[in-house]
Structures are given as C-alpha cells and as structure tokens.
Amino acid sequence: MANHKTKLELTWIGKENRPKLEPRILVEDPAKSYHAPFRTGKADLFDNRLILGDNLLALKALEWEFAGKIKCIYIDPPYNTGSAFTHYDDGVEHSLWLSLIRDRLELLQRLLSKDGSIWISIDDNEAHYLKVLCDETFGRANFVATMIWEKRKSRENRRVFSFNHDYILVFAKDKASFEAVRNPVELSRDVLVRYKNPDNDPRGPWQSVSANAQAGHATPSQFYKLKLPSGKVIDPPKGRCWLYTKERMQEEITDGNVWFGPDGDSVPRIKKFLKNSEDAGLTPETIWPADEVGTNDEAKKGLIELLPDAPVFDNLKPESLLQRVVHIATNPGDFVLDSFAGSGTTGAVAHKMGRRWIMVELGEHCHTHIIPRLKKVIDGEDKGGITEAVGWKGGGGFRYYRLGPSLLQKDEFGNWIISKEYNPSMLAEAMCKMEGFTYAPSDTVYWQHGHSTETDFIYVTTQTLTREQLQKLSDEVGESRSLLVMCGAFRVKNLDEFPNLTVKKIPKAVLSRCEWGHDDYSLEIAALPLRSAISDQQSAIGGEEGNQPSAASSQRKPRTKAERRASAQQSSLFDFPAEEKKR
C-alpha cells in the first residue's frame, strides 16, 4: 500500500490562484516628503517611508531592498465583518478574504528579519481561520501567542453579547530568535505597590517570594532543618523542599536576602529588590486591559483633537496599544512596517519611540490623515497619545513615495511596449528589480546601472545595438567582469562572440513574468477582475512565449551568467524605437 504524505491545511475556493506580481519601482514626490527644519539629536531618523498605492504591489516593491530587514510588522487589516466602514470595504466574501490576506502574509514573511515578529489585529469573524493560515505561512512552531485586547470598557446592550475585545495574533519569523531578543514590559502600578521596605534595607524597596518549592524535582540536599533567628527549628512544609541547599541558604541569610518576618519567627521568604526588577522588567501577559493600553474611543477622541477637520475613523487603535507592541518587539533604530496604515498610528508611535518606519496606504486618507498627523509629530505639535510618556519633543522626517506605473502597456495595435511614463532612469531601476540587481548607476561608467556582485553589472537601454557597439561594451567590461545588457534590440546572430556579455531584448525578455497593467489588488470586491479577464490577459501575455512561469519565477534573484545567456537566445528582431543617444 502506497504511503501518501499529507498535511493539515486550510482550504478554500480559489486558494490555488496566485497573482504574478510586478516588482514596481517607488517614485518619490519631494513636495509631499517632510522633515523637521533642525536636528534635535543624533537619534533623529529621516529615512522613514510613506507609500501611496496598493499594498500588495508596494510590499513586492519593497521586497528586494528590505527582505530580512524588518524587525516588527503590525497590520490591522479589514476584519471581513460586513459592517461597511467608511474608509474600507470590510465585507469581503470569506474565501476571497483568505486569498487576499494570504498573498500579503507571504510577502510580509519574507520581509521579516530572523528575530522579527508580526502582530495582526483581528476579531472573532476571521481570527481562527487567520491563525491556521498563519500556521501555514510562518510555520506552526513559530506561533508566539494571541493577545486579548480590551478595546472598550462600556457595555453594548443592543446585542446578545457585548463584544469588548479584539485579538492580536503574534507570529515570529523564527520563534527561538525572537524569544532571545523579546523585550519585557515595564513594571505596572499594581506591581510597584507590592514593593516595600519594612526592615529599612539600604538597597531599597523589595517584595518577597516563597523560600520553598515543590518537592517533585528536589535533590536530597534541599531537605534539612532550618533554624530561624528566633531559635525555632523548622522543616519545609509537607510536599515541599527548601529553594536552596543548606549552604546556599546560609549565604543568602548572611547577605540579608532572606526575610523571617518582623520578629524573626516566620517562615522564610526570599527578598527581590525593586532596583533589580526594574532592569529585568516583567514577562508580557496575553491579556491587555484597557486601563493599560487604551480603547477605540480614546483613540478616536485623540485623533479628533489632533485633526479636528479630518473625517472620523471607526475602530482606531490607541497609541498606547501600539507602544506596547513596538516596545516588546523592537529596539531604537529597528524597522517597523504597517501595510494597512489607516490613520498612521503605527508610524506616529514608531517615530516617537525612535524606530524607523514604513507605512503603506491606498486611500485618500493618506493625505487627509497620515501626512497632517506625521507633520504634527515631527514639528512637536502632537501633545496626545504617548508623547508625554516617551518624552517626545519633535524631529526627524519621512519620504513620500508613489508606486511607479506598470512597466509595460499595450499600444494601439495591442502589442506590449514599455510605458511612455518611463524615463531612462526609471527604466534602468525597473529592470534592475526585474533581474535581481541593486540599482546603483555610476557617475563615470555609462554601462553600470546596477550590480549583483562586485564584478557583475547591468546596462539598460532602449537602443538597437549593433555588433560594433556590443564589441565596445565587451572590451570595456573585460575578462574579469560580466555584464547583462537589456536593450530594445540587437543585430548580432552569434552572441558567443561576447563571452562576458549576456544580451536580452526588452520588453520581450520580461513579458511573461508578471501581470502587467494590474494596479489594484485591494480588499474591495468591485476592484477585482473577473477570473475570465485574468485568463485572457495570461493568454495574451503567454502567446508565443509559451507556458507562464510560476509565481516563484518572478522573485528577483540574480541568475547565473549561463542561465541568462541561455534565456537570451532569440531568433527574431524586436525593433524598439531608440529613445537614447548612442553613448
């Protein structure tokens, strides 16, 4: 009987369908970028990024530069409740919701650093499906915990149950690595009141813990008679043993670390000093009360005070909630990412806490809420949220980006051509992303637009290159280096004449890799194309190019020179109009 391996997984309609994402470039709009007019200190951060555009395409655009570099991801995706929020279409059919979230989670997983973590706000409608989906994406062994956040303190009497909590699912890229760097939380007021100093110990306030432990794993050296300062001799309680051996216990008594009560006649307890506990902090708990991390209503009131003329958001997350997430998961200077930025709470909190941040938002509230909010944070005019708690005074800045247009568009005859919105530098950057090169144009060497190693370069041009031009390139590159040439066309039959060159035509070389011209993968049903439309586009792109590659083939990993040369052998000439002067 055959032994068929199976796995436990979540299935839904359309799970097998995956988008072939185009790795877009990001185009900065300096008019919307913003920074403080002065530095407040060395810790000021100016390389934060605010990106306007579809978040799936934006995550793909970030992948090459930030894969493995993001320490903390917090997302607050639409909950799929059907409540039709003003700023989100929150009523996506269940299977569609799972597919759209899955596609984003897979990219987010690749962006996380090894010791990074992702925190996802969700409610009862999809929480349990999301947990299983995250098990598949991150690995069940990398599940950290589920936080229960008390989002409201008032009772909702119009419903069968008053839903007062949401969840935050926490997964790590690698659980052991995350646990090694996870930060403790600060001591709460409830904990601080336990510390007293009844014996006027010069080391300051302390609280005590039992000096005995369960006997199940004890050694014989932990069972002995102990003489109290009063002269009384006692044994450990039944079923218990002393916490230390007799020798160690005597050392602790001599050092003043054991408390026998004011009369020296009580069961011993071990003193734990506040000064030591403050450094160690507390292990985070999974229930987060509203009194500690705030509520939706508090966040809403705070945003109204900060931006009185902006439309009001529903279900805002309070800054104190994000403060706890960011504190536990990161340290100053680490990257924090939010691809469902909403009103910009994650970026505002990360900025005030000295973390670098990236936010992505598709809606117009990127301009009506996020930018005005961040400007007030940078200018030191935001007095609410966690400002006072962290001592925020202002400073830093951010850069505003839009997703670049699709690289290819169809001409009047239905042929795929390079978009007319692309100038030479945009085209060079786009091809670097497509081919897995770091975009780094040289100021002195015209054919060095990027590199994959110290000796492997890429050159992008829309010219039709002649044999003489290719020979000149080959001579300049030399035997110790290699060059990938992406050009409009070339007039050479035998490319083996140039062993240090790999020559490809654009757009033909990339035509079948992506869904070109697809600008919206958002969580709105109306924005999604019909399956038949997707099939038609894939057929049009495939055509003479053969079968479509898998989604994995669109990953921007450098290929070997031999692989590049093999894929570059083309029998027909694609005459693309020259848009650049010959160098």
pLDDT, tens digit (0-9, with 9 covering 90-100), for 155-186: 888 888 888 999 999 999 999 999 999 999 98
Give per-residue burial for 126-147: e unless 16+ CB within 10 Å, then b.
bbebbbebbbebbeeebbbeeb
pLDDT band at 29 (very low <50, low <70, confident <90, very high): very high
| Residues 374, 378, 379: CA angle, nearest 5 degrees | 115
The string of pLDDT tens digits covering residues 498-507 is: 999 999 999 9
In 3D space, the residue among 303, 292, 578, 362 whose CA is nearest the CA of residue 462 turns out to be 578
Nearest to 278 by CA among 204, 350, 349: 204
Q: Scan for tokens 């890229």, then name that residue.
A: 173
pLDDT of residue 264: 95
DSSP state of 368: I
Q: Which residue has the higher pLDDT, 553 or 107?
A: 107
pLDDT at 546: 36
Read off the pTM: 0.80
According to DSSP, the β-strands at 456-460 and 482-487 are parallel
Q: Check residue 539 and give its pLDDT.
A: 43
Q: Any idea what the Cα angle at residue 362 is, between residues 357 and 365, rounded to 5°?
A: 85
Q: Tens digit of pLDDT for each residue in 240-289?
A: 999 999 999 999 999 999 999 999 999 999 999 998 876 678 899 999 99
Q: What pLDDT sits at residue 84?
A: 41
Determine how many CB atoms are found less than 10 A away from the CB of residue 94: 13
pLDDT band at 4 (very low <50, low <70, confident <90, very high): low
Taking alpha carbons only, the member of 182, 173, 175 closest to residue 105 is 173
Residues of the chain with CATH 3.40.50.150: 27-185+283-403
Amino acid in the structure at residue 260: F
Beta bridge partners of 409: 417
The whole-number pLDDT of residue 556 equals 44
Residue 566 pLDDT > 50: no
| Check whether domain 27-185+283-403 has CATH 3.30.1300.10, yes or no | no
The per-residue b/e assignment along 191-217, b for 16 or more CB within 10 angstroms, e otherwise, is eeeebeeeeeeeeeebbbeebbeeeee
Interval 72-99: pLDDT, tens? 999 999 876 655 445 545 545 788 888 9
Lowest mean pLDDT among 17-31, 307-321, 439-453: 307-321
Q: Say if CB 373 and CB 348 are below 8 A apart.
A: yes
